[in-house]
Structure 1
């Protein structure tokens, strides 16, 4: 008898230790705003509209997958620490049974998905967890629902599951796609998904000239819109930058961010560009933070004159990641100043857009407000140039710094086409104050700089010196040769003929590998003069070059071949970075 009392007293002490643990955990959870309660099985069953039960017999089940109880959910915390003093006698006797000769019978549980709810045996679960057990024997009754549960379920996520069920009841997507998973991590998102489907349904009805049922529209939206986007997000590894988020979360996040960007930009954003914008928000490493920090200092102190722009090849890597290899240029940005000579850039951009089946996005940046007649005149001239074309186009008039605005908006397009009316001057001070030099230095996209001509863009001259930016120019030369069937001449200029020949051999090897034929020219002397004379001799109608090769400050002081070409070339220059 004394031995039993001693064992019982020890069990009571264990209960009090567990009870103290429970109080501490509840307090800490309240401070963090985290739930600690067990889930009520009846509430869960009703919310998920249980469809039937199946007896599964005795199983070993993981204790950490038990998340709720039938009737006793107020007596224990989520990890089954005792919350009520009145259960200590029952708890102590169960504790003694664990070490007694008779042992303990299996508990009884309901199973929904991957989680369990105790029907009988709450105290046994509590004691087993205190003793460090990981599994326990249980009679399992499986409860059938359309929405499975996982061990991380909590009251908030239960609301989300209920909303998911309502969504599936309306769309019946789970009947057509049994493995579908549109789980989200925030309540209220399924209402937005339904709005997306309703919009999709509306346009399906217009296109097919008939009434489209919601279930049909949902299936079409899922297969042809949702899945391709989520697949691309997954392939690009964007999910890794958003821990604890689901693919559907990122689909909705991208859609919201896309709408915000479209409102700010004034034009529709392609899905590919919206995915890239999502990548931009995801990429937030330390190096990029430092780069952004120094660019802000440069903008504040020097007006952005010494910003080096994005890394070499960024546009190529980003574009290849989301675009078709046969359609790299989908959107073209054309800044227009409203002057007579400035409209050549729009005409040149039209040439490119027609070849690429691209959209043309024009902007007019001003410091002061335009009068209504001036705005109408600008819009009228723009429309006149494109009146007999099927090219999608927009003209947005906005206020701000010209270079900042162009660089910002160019992040969402593939090519900038600009008229060269004020090229960088020959002196350091001229280059320092040159807005065009700043754009070439900072712009994250290739720039087609055009004088007051419209070139057919059929004969390209690639100036190649083996530098990283020249490699980018070579990449686009290959693209134009394959896609546009342009004739290509490759020029290398160096004081040493052997070095020039080395560069030509590099270009020849890469072009031959890609089955592109070209003429190869080696020159010495002034680089800019050699480029212009070769272009004239071979009948080239545009030049393809890499961007500035020096750091911004050195480039301002020393000048650049690119600057010399901008001042002297009678044909367009494609500047690549």
Structure 2
């Protein structure tokens, strides 16, 4: 009956075989621990008699039941029993001698039993609660340790997984490190380099990712998984994303997709949409800033910069400007061409564009990657923006005045939905961004613009002017809030201006007065429907402002 109930509950009623466990967990030296009282519920197996008893030590055979009755009678009459003998593996015990005594003690309701204990050291600890599937996983972990010696090289290392079959992923990565160390040996992993490859992989590949996982609290999103599980999930997720995007990604860039991906949609749309908003939604204001601060990037906000290529000569002027910016911080430049169809994507001119882009990045000593995707420009930019820090677009077709024309413009979608700051450059106009104008109204999006302006002023000692226009929704005192924030970070050289005129005109006039060559603003303030009817300050500026404009959200 007990075996039937165990099956119905999905639990194993099998007593573990010590010899199997000893081999699977790579048993090592033994230590005599002497006579102890051990918990009966920690006894999970037997040496040589695992087939004769259930997990709770009830005898399976009639002959054993007769002996069980004799043992019980003897114990009852003598008021006690001699100690049993056990092996201890982790916090689990295996009976060497005394199986019937264990059985009787359990049936009599005892909690403990006296035992002569011999501890068996293993590469992987066993617990009394481990089920057969967990045993398989631990056996594979022991195999991994046997091949790598990680537990001896790093005694505190813990790479136990619940995905037992995924140690091959880790071994493959170590083999790649070994091949790199064995350069010149026909691409083979030389045995003499294996230990060094294990150390290099653990210290330079595995541990940095685990540190990110800990800092971002990823493990709390997956309480049933281990750190090594998350590492493998992240590695596989990253490979899929890189294949879909055509770009290389850092581990932390793959984390949002790992956390939020819950869908069975096709790979590209599923992975990209997992961190990019749907086109009828807005990304949360301030999310990008929070992510950058969580990753401790406050001294390098724009590590990855995406440039949209249109197949015109201005593309290369724009690239030159971004290369100049990228050289200051060794940024990663990502080029993107959005093709109308497959025929467009496969044109020789597009291939030449890729080659010229790669050559320029290589010449500048910058990491550069170029991707081609077919589809709508606005959708593709919004999706891919989630994997970069800044989107740069040549402003050749600004939003038009009429509502119907604005509905057809991709700019509305990009500004409203893009989860990253956008640098709009009118006709690739040259600028060194040395004189910044911040338009500030105290709103949440304006605070994001203030954050970026402060970074640029402090990081590159840029000139900065802050201006505001009092309105029904904006107090004149807003500029004092901006000043307090800037001075908190040591920016004491900024100019502060309050103007009484239409907002977009006030911005243009202030920029002219201070010869500003970079405007920083927050994104749309109005709701989409109202913006389509009445327009927005940002759209006015995109049409009329003749210098680069950084739009934050």
Q: Which residue of 2 aligns with 1:485?
A: 461
Q: Which residue of 1 aligns with 2:487?
A: 512
DSSP-derived class of the 1:119 partner? strand
Shift of 1:470: 0.8
Deviates more, 1:442-451 or 1:307-316: 307-316
514, 521, 526: which one pairs with 1:545? Answer: 521
193, 207, 212: which one pairs with 1:232? Answer: 212
Instruction: Quote the Cα distance in structure 2 between the aligned partners of 1:143 and 1:366.
Output: 65
Superposed, 1:306-321 pairs within 5 Å as 307-321=280-294
Alignment CA distance shift 1:55-1:367 (3 Å): same
Superposed, 1:95-494 pairs within 5 Å as 95=72, 100-130=77-107, 132-206=109-183, 213-281=193-261, 304=279, 307-369=280-342, 370=344, 371-383=346-358, 386=361, 388-452=363-427, 453-494=429-470
Q: Which residue of 2 aligns with 1:13?
A: none
Q: Is the 1:416–1:446 contact (alpha carbons within 8 Å) kept by the matching residues of 2?
A: yes
Alignment CA distance shift 1:468-1:91 (3 Å): farther
Instruction: Quote the Cα distance in structure 2 between the aligned partners of 1:492 and 1:77.
Output: 79
Instruction: Quote the Cα distance in structure 2 between the aligned partners of 1:39 and 1:240.
Output: 33
Structure 2 alignment gaps of length 5 or more = 264-269
Instruction: Quote the Cα distance in structure 2 between the aligned partners of 1:273 and 1:164.
Output: 28
Q: Indicate the RMSD between aligned Cα atoms, in angstroms.
A: 2.9
Instruction: Quote the Cα distance in structure 2 between the aligned partners of 1:192 and 1:515.
Output: 48
TM-score (norm 1): 0.86
Alignment CA distance shift 1:125-1:400 (3 Å): farther
Q: Which residue of 2 aligns with 1:7?
A: none
Alignment CA distance shift 1:440-1:79 (3 Å): farther
Q: Which residue of 2 aligns with 1:26?
A: 7
TM-score (norm 2): 0.89
Instruction: Quote the Cα distance in structure 2 between the aligned partners of 1:446 and 1:96.
Output: 82
Shift of 1:274: 2.7
Shift of 1:115: 1.3
Instruction: Quote the Cα distance in structure 2 between the aligned partners of 1:344 and 1:96.
Output: 97
Instruction: Quote the Cα distance in structure 1 between the aligned partners of 2:457 and 2:419.
Output: 23
Instruction: Quote the Cα distance in structure 1 between the aligned partners of 2:380 and 2:144.
Output: 42
Q: How many residues align?
A: 537
DSSP-derived class of the 1:243 partner? coil
Instruction: Quote the Cα distance in structure 1 between the aligned partners of 2:350 and 2:59.
Output: 74
Q: Which residue of 2 aligns with 1:8?
A: none
Instruction: Quote the Cα distance in structure 2 between the aligned partners of 1:234 and 1:356.
Output: 26
User: What do the CA deviations read for 1:299-321 (whole angstroms, capped 9, x no partner)?
Assistant: 7xxxx3xx232111111111222
Structure 1 alignment gaps of length 5 or more = 1-19, 284-288
Instruction: Quote the Cα distance in structure 1 between the aligned partners of 2:194 and 2:360.
Output: 43
Shift of 1:114: 1.8
Q: Is the 1:239–1:247 contact (alpha carbons within 8 Å) kept by the matching residues of 2?
A: yes
User: What do the CA deviations read for 1:204-260 (whole angstroms, capped 9, x no partner)?
Assistant: 4559x9976211221122122211211221222111222321111111111111111
Instruction: Quote the Cα distance in structure 2 between the aligned partners of 1:358 and 1:50.
Output: 50
